[in-house]
Amino acid sequence: TDSDTADEAVRATCDDATVCKRFATSKGYWRDLYIQYFARSVGERKAPEISRGYYARVKGVNNLLDAFIRKTECDCQVINLGAGLDTTFWRLKEENLLPRKYFEVDFPTVVARKIHNIKTKPPLSKPIIETHSTDSLLLDAHSLDSDRYCIIGADLRDISSLDEKLKKFQLNTELPTVFVSECVLVYMTPTHSSNLVCWASDTFHTAMFINYEQVNMSDRFGQVMIENLQHRHCTLAGVEVCQSLDSQKDRYLKTGWEHADALDMMTVYSMLPQEDVERIERLEFLDEKELLQQLLQHYSICWATKDKLNLGLVHLAF
């Protein structure tokens, strides 16, 4: 059906992210020793503005995620929604920042691919086995469950089944919990994404939601971005929410979150440690600075918090 084709095009987007991250890390934009196991080869060259954009995305999201984990002294959970082939679990393990449990959710077919890679590549499986204490490690084709890392196949538009599966794998609704979604909500209708963030705020009393996706999509540049995706049968069903930083924040403020903030990526880029920004800007020559600016102005990070435990989550920022 049409909707199967649309979902298949959305599933394929996780390879774009992986291929772009693999290329950027091969050039030294940031370190990721694990992405190589999810993308067969470095692949063709990517334009420098793409790599700089991914740099801002990875550093920006990590900045907020790590701040939450530190604030809770690792006594927390992470739930990565639409995680694709993301390698954050391995980075956190390496940096001694593992939460009590790290959950990932994606479509079952994407999850099956990720699990296959983990099973067949010891550098991926070793950290999972090392952080697991009993002989009960579950590793079948459709799910992985260990003490500290769990991957679940589910459709994020089906909240009751998502809730049920997470609870089956020992999700603790009393623990401070941080959600991460990168370029995921934009593929769902505003109703679906709103239901998801509403479920998150209903389920946890102390939580943060970090969302990275397109913004300012109503101008000419935004229209071209939409057309490019449509060429690949990919529809940004949630594009309405991507009209402005305010509409991004409203999604949370209307669904029980206490506080929400949003920045476009040009602003985030200017707030990252400038010494490292200068370093990456020397990696590859970029003569069209304007294109980078336009690109960064069309992506955003939005984050929302609720804080019954009074941890000071409202102060987490750049």
Task: Give the binding-site size for ligand SAM (rule: CB under 6 A).
Answer: 20
Does 104 sit near ligand SAM (CB under 6 A)?
Answer: no
- Smaller CB separation from ligand SAM, 13 or 201: 13
Q: Is 89 in the site for ligand SAM (CB under 6 A)?
A: no
Q: Is 258 in the site for ligand SAM (CB under 6 A)?
A: no
Measured from the CB atom, is 208 or 311 closer to ligand SAM?
Answer: 208
- Rounded Cα distance between 199 and 308, Å, is 17
Angle at 265 between CA 178 and CA 181, to 5 degrees: 30
| Residue 10 touches ligand SAM, criterion: CB under 6 A | yes
Indicate which single residue of 86, 213, 261, 264 sits in contact with ligand SAM (rule: CB under 6 A): 86
Q: Within 10 Å of residue 94's Cβ, how many Cβ atoms?
A: 13
Give dist(CA 289, CA 294) in Å, integer.
9
H helix or E strand, kind and range, residue 156? none
H/E segment holding residue 148? none
106 part of the interface to ligand SAM, by CB under 6 A: yes
155 binds ligand SAM (CB under 6 A): yes
Q: Are 86 and 61 in contact (CB under 8 A)?
A: no
Q: Which of 67, 110, 210, 302 binds ligand SAM (CB under 6 A)?
A: 110
Should residue 83 be labelled a site residue for ligand SAM when binding is judged by CB under 6 A?
Answer: yes
Sign of CA dihedral 208, 211, 217, 221: positive
Residue 107 engages ligand SAM in binding (rule: CB under 6 A): yes
- Residue of 152, 156, 166, 266 interacting with ligand SAM (CB under 6 A): 156
Residue 152: other Cβ atoms inside 10 A: 23
Helix, strand, coil shares, percent, the chain, to 5: 50, 15, 35
Residue 197 token pair: 């963030």
183 versus 311: smaller Cβ distance to ligand SAM:
183
Q: Which is nearer to ligand SAM, 27 or 157 (CB)?
A: 157
The binding site for ligand SAM (CB under 6 A) comprises: 10-11, 13-14, 17, 82-84, 86, 106-107, 110, 155-157, 182-184, 187-188
